[in-house]
């Protein structure tokens, strides 16, 4: 059994590789070639948290696994990750555990890559301005994914706490200097999205985080943070206004994402607006962007197939390069 820490994964696996892994995962899922039960969510109300168990099986890769991921927002006050996780990967030919990975970093990587994959497929090729709303644990990977797929001149970053946004920008200017993109903290979400070609929202908000009326024609939007029915980052206006709406998993989004569940319940949205799954764009069964003025929207709640495919690729590469710590039960 191989144990892979964050430093091991970062050493051998790039964001671009993660984006390609997610594209493969989305395609496998939409073609029906995976077993992906809806996640089991156990609440811990005493600590305002929840723990999710996300199993998955992919026959063509002879791989299966389960990710255990918790969301405890108050962990930040303790100096701990708000979204700690562990990924357990199994060899599906024997059922034995072959690898344990840092699931916190895996989650950040594959979640950023999901928006990166959708942005690569749906955003205008000449996109120049990005907006990132949210500076929590998922934000670094979201920014990196955005920068990886488009040559952006500027990304504006908004947090409800301006100091957090400023500190985030200072760190990211150093980490991502090689992209030659101007990173700028802004005071309002409206300033962030003004004339933006790509907008990514990655918060735990229960209220819309920007005004959909301010979104320019031709923009692409990633809704990443709404993974519970009571969470809503996107207002009903922009969901209704979008020309095309894609999901990672339509079944999962309709069960879990308040961005879609809330306007459906209010009657301001109906399922005729849904275009389909991003995996169908990858396989060529659905068209993505068809004009420069279309507003495209991607909603992701995350699926275990992403974790299994990405973890499988990381494990294979680590094994080839002799990276990680080997462990044997005796």
pLDDT level of residue 137 (50, 70, 90 thresholds): confident
The predicted-structure confidence for 72-131, as pLDDT tens digits, reads as follows: 989 989 998 888 899 999 999 999 999 999 999 999 999 999 999 999 999 999 999 999
Tokens matching residue 13 = 């696996």
Q: For the domain 123-302, what is the CATH superfamily, name and number?
A: NAD(P)-binding Rossmann-like Domain (3.40.50.720)
What are φ and ψ of residue 200, in 5° steps? -120, 125
Parse the chain into domains and list their residue ranges. 2-106+305-326, 123-302
Nearest to 122 by CA among 221, 249, 189, 47: 221
Q: Which residue has the higher pLDDT, 69 or 182?
A: 182
Question: For position 39, what pLDDT does the model report?
Answer: 77
List of residues 6+ apart from 19 with CB closer than 8 A: 113, 116, 117, 120, 145, 148, 149
pLDDT level of residue 328 (50, 70, 90 thresholds): confident
Please compute the mean of the pLDDT values over residues 52-78 and round it to a whole number. 93
Please compute the mean of the pLDDT values over residues 56-79 and round it to a whole number. 93
Quote the percentage of the chain above a pLDDT of 70. Answer: 100
Distance, CA of 214 to CA of 14 (rounded, Å): 34
The predicted-structure confidence for 158-213, as pLDDT tens digits, reads as follows: 999 999 999 999 999 999 999 999 999 999 999 999 999 999 999 999 999 999 99
For the chain, what percentages of helix, strand and coil (3-state, to nearest 5) are there?
Answer: 40, 25, 35
Say if residue 69's pLDDT is above 90.
no
Q: Which three-class secondary structure string do you get for 159-217?
A: CCCHHHHHHHHHHHHHHCHHHCCEEEECCCHHHHHCCCCEEEECCCCCCCCCCHHHCCC
Say if residue 330's pLDDT is above 80.
no
Mean pLDDT across the chain? 95
Nearest to 36 by CA among 19, 59, 20: 59
Say if residue 288's pLDDT is above 90.
yes
Return the half-sphere exposure (C-beta side, CA atoms, 13 A cut-off) of residue 107. 27
Fold of 2-106+305-326: ornithine cyclodeaminase, domain 1 (3.30.1780)
Say if residue 228's pLDDT is above 90.
no
Tokens matching residue 125 = 């090729």
Render 95-131 in DSSP notation, one character per residue.
TEEEEEEEHHHHHHHHHHHHHHHHHHHHS-TT--EEE
The predicted-structure confidence for 259-274, as pLDDT tens digits, reads as follows: 999 999 999 999 999 9
What SS3 class is residue 218? coil
Say if residue 153's pLDDT is above 80.
yes
Distance, CA of 287 to CA of 218 (rounded, Å): 16
């Amino acid at each position: 059994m191989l144990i892979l820490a964050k430093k091991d994964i970062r050493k051998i696996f790039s964001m671009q590789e993660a984006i390609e892994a997610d594209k493969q995962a989305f395609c496998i899922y939409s073609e029906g070639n995976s077993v992906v039960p809806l996640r089991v969510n156990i609440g811990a109300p005493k600590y305002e948290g929840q723990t999710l168990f996300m199993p998955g099986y992919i026959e063509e890769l002879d791989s299966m696994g389960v990710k255990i991921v918790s969301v405890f927002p108050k962990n930040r006050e303790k100096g701990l990750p708000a979204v700690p996780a562990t990924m357990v990967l199994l060899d599906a030919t024997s059922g034995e555990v072959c690898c344990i990975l840092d699931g916190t970093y895996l989650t950040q990587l594959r979640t950023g890559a999901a928006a990166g994959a959708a942005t690569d497929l749906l955003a205008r090729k000449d996109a120049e301005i990005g907006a990132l709303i949210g500076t929590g644990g998922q934000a670094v990977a979201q920014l990196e994914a955005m920068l990886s797929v488009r040559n952006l001149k500027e990304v504006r970053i908004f947090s409800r706490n301006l100091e957090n946004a400023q500190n985030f920008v200072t760190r990211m200017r150093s980490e991502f200097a090689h992209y030659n993109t101007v990173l700028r903290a802004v005071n309002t979400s409206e300033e962030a999205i003004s004339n933006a070609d790509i907008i990514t929202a990655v918060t735990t908000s229960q209220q819309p985080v920007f005004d959909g009326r301010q979104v320019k024609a031709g923009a692409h939007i990633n809704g990443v943070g709404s993974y519970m029915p009571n969470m809503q980052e996107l207002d009903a206006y922009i969901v209704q206004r979008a020309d095309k709406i894609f999901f990672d998993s339509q079944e999962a989004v309709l069960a879990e994402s308040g961005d879609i569940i809330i306007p459906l319940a209010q009657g301001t949205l109906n399922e005729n607006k849904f275009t389909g799954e991003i995996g169908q764009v990858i396989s060529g069964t659905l068209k993505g962007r068809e004009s420069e003025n279309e507003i495209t929207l991607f909603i992701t709640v995350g699926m275990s197939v992403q974790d299994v495919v990405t973890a499988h690729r990381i494990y294979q590469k680590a094994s080839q390069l002799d990276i990680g710590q080997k462990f044997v039960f005796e």
